[in-house]
A and B are shown apart, each in its own frame.
Chain A
């Protein structure tokens, strides 16, 4: 839409001003690194964070979410929607691409009101990474190291100021009402172009193929010995799913109050790596082995999502699953091994 400039010293007041009206979730430091959390003070925001253990998708798809409440004594059902206005601040572009995918998954086919209403009341202020976060990320290979949509506002750090890409009218109003800004001047635009050009060289391409070629690679990899090789190592702990910004599979559970008269049905995060995931009532398990479950996960990440939702990606190269895996099963390792085996 337009390009504005804000001074760096105006950033904290910007967050403070938003905090007066909205819940603001942003990256804050914790004992082991960083996490997205509801801010109580603007000064907690750490835009210099490298990554978080859990992705910010938890703001759009909470770990546990009430779908409806019910009464058991005189049956009645009341839907539950979370429509608090909130700002998700400081999202990296890999996670932004993941949330664009989630937006489409939950809006297409049978629209999911719980997700869509929460999404509609959430503004996203993203931030451009100017350096790779660590040795596990491969956003350059997945073409997610920048973004042109999916945000309301997008910040690009340029020394003493930020360039702000205004993505939506809501973003425009958010900036207008909460922060001093001015239209970008010619020298500021030149610096922006220079910074954006310079950043590419700082990111390694860690995949031996381009992300857009993953569906084709996966299409010929169903019977690869790689699945058995990594299946032997996998503990089936599901950590890869839990930290993944594009995982959205869920289980549904009922909980009842102590008197048994009321209760709620919620959805909770689930993991396709767990033994129970594909088991049916009669006991049959349609993905019994770790190798089958890993193949399913990598097929979703590299093929199914991209094919079911053209223009979207099942993996955004954030590297979180690689960091979380106890036995070093990584997307870069798996995809490069498959690529090498098939000598594409």
Chain B
């Protein structure tokens, strides 16, 4: 027995509300979330939040918006795959949700200043990658070349289509997009994301690569990046795991000795290279 510690529960969500809902694809919607009293989430690119729907449950969702564009709001691009995300898709503007976080390590963008940045997100991986992409683009002068390679399965599954167009038009972004399978209207590149790599040249010593996507994509993209001579500790990924509590207790997201919710979800390849079950 000892004095009862006067600490608050780390599992209590803050009540927030959905201020905007946009349908992006058949499976993904974008939610703009506002916290009470205009408070800022104060996140770093690559972090995530736990989204609560009371009575349904909680799910970890990566933050899609960059800190540079927070304005007291943040954005979540959510694929409808489970109980919480399906229920979230049924909500309208004005609905109340719970939010905990931000959690996780995020990408250390300050350390990337002065470097060339190569982004290679695949599919829904653009959702977390967008938080870093826009952070870098909003402070464009701090970085060297910006190369952006993006792949999706079909043209209909491309996310953030308006932004893709904007990025494609910028002359300070080298932008390449591909789809695994085209359709009647698609006139761009067809093939998996690795088919974009022959189109680019990099200065490997000065390049930071950030790739976010499904597990199978990592193996091939990392092989390409290493093949271009980019050192292991300059290749960054964001790993998806079942981050149930977000605070390093529940055990679900553990990868070897790492807790994905604490040490990650952003890792550099040198950290996880020898770790079984990581990639």
The answer to whether A109 and B250 have CB atoms under 8 Å apart is: no
The answer to whether A109 and B262 have CB atoms under 8 Å apart is: yes
The answer to whether B96 and A75 have CB atoms under 8 Å apart is: yes
Binding-face segment, A198-206, A246-254, A323-331: A246-254
Give the residues in chain A near B251, CB-CB below 8 Å: 248-250, 270, 272
The reply on B214 being an interface residue by CB < 8 A is yes
Binding-face segment, B41-49, B54-62, B222-230: B54-62
In the complex, which residues 45-84 of chain B have their Cβ closer than 8 Å to any Cβ of chain A?
Answer: 52, 54-59, 79, 81-82
* 0/1 string, B19-38, CB within 8 A of A gives 1: 00000000000000000000
A248–B245 Cα distance when bound, in Å, is 13
A267–B2 Cα distance when bound, in Å, is 24
Return the chain B residue nearest A75 by Cβ: B96
Give the residues in chain B near A252, CB-CB below 8 Å: 11, 57-58, 244-245, 250
A113–B8 Cα distance when bound, in Å, is 6
Give the residues in chain B near A120, CB-CB below 8 Å: 1-5
* 0/1 string, B76-118, CB within 8 A of A gives 1: 0001011001000000000010100000000000000000000
Q: Which of A72, A75, A112, A282 contacts B81 (CB 8 A)?
A: A282
A152–B249 Cα distance when bound, in Å, is 26
Partner-A contacts on B (CB < 8 A) = 1-5, 7-13, 15, 52, 54-59, 79, 81-82, 85, 96, 98, 214-215, 240-242, 244-245, 247-252, 254-257, 262, 276-277
A–B complex contacts, Cβ < 8 Å, 14 sampled = A72-B55, A75-B15, A77-B15, A79-B8, A79-B9, A85-B1, A111-B7, A116-B7, A250-B244, A270-B250, A278-B241, A281-B59, A286-B255, A304-B257
Return the chain B residue nearest A308 by Cβ: B257
The answer to whether A116 and B5 have CB atoms under 8 Å apart is: yes
* 0/1 string, A110-137, CB within 8 A of B gives 1: 1111101100111100000000000000
The reply on A280 being an interface residue by CB < 8 A is yes
Q: Which of B3, B59, B276 contacts A222 (CB 8 A)?
A: B276
Q: Which of B11, B81, B248, B277 contacts A265 (CB 8 A)?
A: B11
Given contacts A251-B250, A281-B85, could you give 12 more A-B pairs where the C-beta distance is less than 8 Å? A79-B11, A110-B10, A111-B10, A117-B7, A253-B57, A265-B54, A272-B251, A281-B79, A283-B81, A286-B241, A287-B277, A304-B257
The answer to whether B57 and A282 have CB atoms under 8 Å apart is: no
The reply on A312 being an interface residue by CB < 8 A is no
* 0/1 string, A28-61, CB within 8 A of B gives 1: 0000000000000000000000000000000000
Partner-B contacts on A (CB < 8 A) = 67-68, 70-72, 75-77, 79, 81, 83, 85, 105-106, 109-114, 116-117, 120-123, 152, 168, 170, 174, 222, 248-254, 256, 260, 263, 265, 267, 270, 272, 277-284, 286-287, 292, 296, 299-300, 303-304, 307-308
Give the residues in chain A near B81, CB-CB below 8 Å: 281-283
Give the residues in chain B near A272, CB-CB below 8 Å: 251
CB distance from A168 to the nearest CB of B (A): 7
Give the residues in chain A near B8, CB-CB below 8 Å: 79, 113
The answer to whether A110 and B247 have CB atoms under 8 Å apart is: yes
Q: Which of A222, A251, A260, A287 contacts B244 (CB 8 A)?
A: A251
Beyond A79-B12, A116-B7, A168-B2, is A254–B54 a contact (Cβ under 8 Å)? yes
Give the residues in chain A near B96, CB-CB below 8 Å: 75
Return the chain B residue nearest A171 by Cβ: B1
Return the chain A residue nearest B7 by Cβ: A113
CB distance from A316 to the nearest CB of B (A): 18
The answer to whether B249 and A105 have CB atoms under 8 Å apart is: yes
A246–B193 Cα distance when bound, in Å, is 44
The answer to whether A113 and B5 have CB atoms under 8 Å apart is: yes
- The 8 A-B pairs with the shortest beta carbon distances in the complex, nearest first, are A249-B251, A170-B1, A281-B82, A110-B247, A256-B55, A75-B96, A281-B81, A70-B54
Q: Which of B55, B79, B247 contacts A263 (CB 8 A)?
A: B55
Return the chain A residue nearest B124 by Cβ: A282
Q: Which of B56, B79, B252 contacts A249 (CB 8 A)?
A: B252
Give the residues in chain B near A263, CB-CB below 8 Å: 54-55
Give the residues in chain A near B82, CB-CB below 8 Å: 281
A287–B12 Cα distance when bound, in Å, is 29
The answer to whether A114 and B9 have CB atoms under 8 Å apart is: yes
Return the chain B residue nearest A123 by Cβ: B1
CB distance from A303 to the nearest CB of B (A): 8
Return the chain A residue nearest B250 by Cβ: A250
A251–B192 Cα distance when bound, in Å, is 36
A292–B240 Cα distance when bound, in Å, is 18
CB distance from B6 to the nearest CB of A (A): 9
Give the residues in chain A near B13, CB-CB below 8 Å: 77
Return the chain B residue nearest A85 by Cβ: B1
Give the residues in chain B near A256, CB-CB below 8 Å: 55
The answer to whether B256 and A112 have CB atoms under 8 Å apart is: no
Return the chain B residue nearest A118 by Cβ: B4
Give the residues in chain A near B255, CB-CB below 8 Å: 286
Beyond A77-B15, A260-B55, A279-B242, is A109–B248 a contact (Cβ under 8 Å)? yes
Give the residues in chain B near A71, CB-CB below 8 Å: 54
A85–B4 Cα distance when bound, in Å, is 11
CB distance from B278 to the nearest CB of A (A): 9
Beyond A72-B55, A252-B245, is A284–B257 a contact (Cβ under 8 Å)? no
